[in-house]
Chains A and B, each alone.
Chain A
């Protein structure tokens, strides 16, 4: 990886874009309110919060944006190529 993902956001977004299985498991865990699984998935990529409160806030925000996050990540995962609207 040329840049190397540094922030937790970069790690999460890059993982969701590059790994469909991870993205699907994260979406499923969020959908079913399996917070423990969500935390585990975040920990796997080094994107767990520094404190319990921070982690809880991250899980909560993710629940609210599960669908757009997966859609946006898959949109930008496609390149390179000519843009063709779906």
Chain B
């Protein structure tokens, strides 16, 4: 999914992760161990494939929008910062979502990750440059979204757009860096607005495929909130998912992707348009097969959980 040059930047950023702890090998080892365990393949680099690659791709494509050949040393700094910022957020998110013991044990690594995250930008921008206003704004909004998300007992559609999907607003920091570096702030707002919509799609995809995990851990998501609103009398959320919920969500995703592709055309980035086409096809094929299976699974749910046709709640939110 990543360009070869960009992929090499990610490789190097991961290899350099323990560099700042070089005087304390045990700390470096703890950091490397955690990143390795986080990846399902046991190879830290693989964790940034698939949908997560977007955090490197958007600043890369934005720079390509400005100049045909991106500056590798510049992108190298952005990627290094983003890898550290992602891990920083991941540790906090895992502790907040699951009170994960592994992440609690490595919480002190946050100071190293944050230092690495901001150091890259300190090399690019003097302290009084306007970039830091963008940095503060997007980083504060990321923190605000993460805090507010945990305060909600259910998500409305607007909560989803304004809170859940804003947890990854930090990705706008490298976008701001590109625009500030090249004096193209005119591009920042449209690219950030596009990212906000892409983040909604990505969050809905995660909510849809992680719903069992979220339900088990008591995580509140828009998808589960919608299940609670839409389910019928006597119906469990699990029953709603297999009968109608997954179909509702996949229709939502398909409509959102159509809008995203239309919006992407305006950003004049052919690579971004191709990425969306690829992602849409990948998800659609998988979803279609799953929906066929779910029709049969719904008959099992009906046998094990008879329901009324009446909604459990008077007002259900449909999209």
**Residues on A facing B (Cβ under 8 Å):** 1-3, 5-10, 12-14, 17, 47, 57-58, 61-62, 64-65, 67-69, 71-72, 75-86
Q: Is the CB of B305 within 8 A of A10?
A: yes
The answer to the question of B293 belonging to the interface, with a C-beta cut-off of 8 Å to chain A, is yes
- Alpha-carbon separation in the docked complex, A17 to B241 (Å): 14
Tell me the smallest distance from the CB of B284 to a CB of chain A, in Å. 9
Q: Which of B50, B294, B300, B303 contacts A82 (CB 8 A)?
A: B50
Interface residues of B in 78-99 (CB under 8 A from A): 97
The answer to the question of B213 belonging to the interface, with a C-beta cut-off of 8 Å to chain A, is yes
Q: Is the CB of B209 within 8 A of A79?
A: yes
Give the residues in chain B near A10, CB-CB below 8 Å. Answer: 236, 238-239, 305
Interface string of B279-303 (1 = CB under 8 A from A): 0001101100010111011011111
Q: Is the CB of A14 within 8 A of B212?
A: yes
Give the residues in chain B near A57, CB-CB below 8 Å. Answer: 303
Interface secondary structure of B, over-half rule? helix
Q: Is the CB of A9 within 8 A of B239?
A: yes
The answer to the question of B210 belonging to the interface, with a C-beta cut-off of 8 Å to chain A, is yes
Give the residues in chain A near B49, CB-CB below 8 Å. Answer: 84
**A3-B237, A79-B214, A81-B210 known; A64 and B242 CB under 8 Å?**
no
Quick one: which of A6, A76, A78, A84 has the most chain B CB within 10 A?
A: A76
Q: Is the CB of B51 within 8 A of A83?
A: yes
Interface string of B34-59 (1 = CB under 8 A from A): 00000010000000011110000000
**A61-B303, A72-B290, A79-B210 known; A14 and B238 CB under 8 Å?**
yes
Quick one: which of A5, A8, A58, A80 has the most chain B CB within 10 A?
A: A80
Q: Is the CB of A80 within 8 A of B296?
A: no
Q: Is the CB of B236 within 8 A of A80?
A: no
The answer to the question of B217 belonging to the interface, with a C-beta cut-off of 8 Å to chain A, is yes
Contacts A14-B212, A61-B303, A84-B51 aside, 18 further interface pairs with beta carbons under 8 A come to: A2-B218, A3-B216, A3-B237, A7-B238, A13-B242, A17-B212, A64-B296, A67-B293, A72-B293, A72-B294, A76-B211, A77-B212, A79-B212, A81-B210, A82-B51, A82-B206, A84-B49, A85-B286
Give the residues in chain A near B241, CB-CB below 8 Å. Answer: 76
Instruction: Name the residue on B nearest A77 (C-beta).
Output: B212
Give the residues in chain A near B302, CB-CB below 8 Å. Answer: 61
**Residues on B facing A (Cβ under 8 Å):** 40, 49-52, 97, 205-206, 209-218, 234, 236-239, 241-242, 282-283, 285-286, 290, 292-294, 296-297, 299-305
Tell me the smallest distance from the CB of A16 to a CB of chain B, in Å. 10
- Alpha-carbon separation in the docked complex, A3 to B302 (Å): 20
Q: Is the CB of B52 within 8 A of A82?
A: yes
Closest CB pairs A-B (n = 4)? A2-B218, A79-B210, A9-B305, A68-B293
Give the residues in chain A near B294, CB-CB below 8 Å. Answer: 68, 72
Give the residues in chain B near A76, CB-CB below 8 Å. Answer: 209, 211-212, 241
Q: Is the CB of B210 within 8 A of A7?
A: no
Q: Is the CB of A85 within 8 A of B304?
A: no
Q: Is the CB of B299 within 8 A of A61?
A: yes
Tell me the smallest distance from the CB of B256 to a CB of chain A, in Å. 14
Tell me the smallest distance from the CB of B102 to a CB of chain A, in Å. 14
Q: Is the CB of B50 within 8 A of A47?
A: no
Q: Is the CB of A47 within 8 A of B213?
A: no
- Alpha-carbon separation in the docked complex, A6 to B238 (Å): 10
Instruction: Name the residue on B nearest A42 (C-beta).
Output: B304
**A9-B300, A10-B239 known; A2 and B205 CB under 8 Å?**
no
Q: Is the CB of B304 within 8 A of A8?
A: yes
Q: Is the CB of B305 within 8 A of A7?
A: yes
Q: Is the CB of A83 within 8 A of B205?
A: yes
**A75-B290, A76-B209, A86-B286 known; A3 and B300 CB under 8 Å?**
no
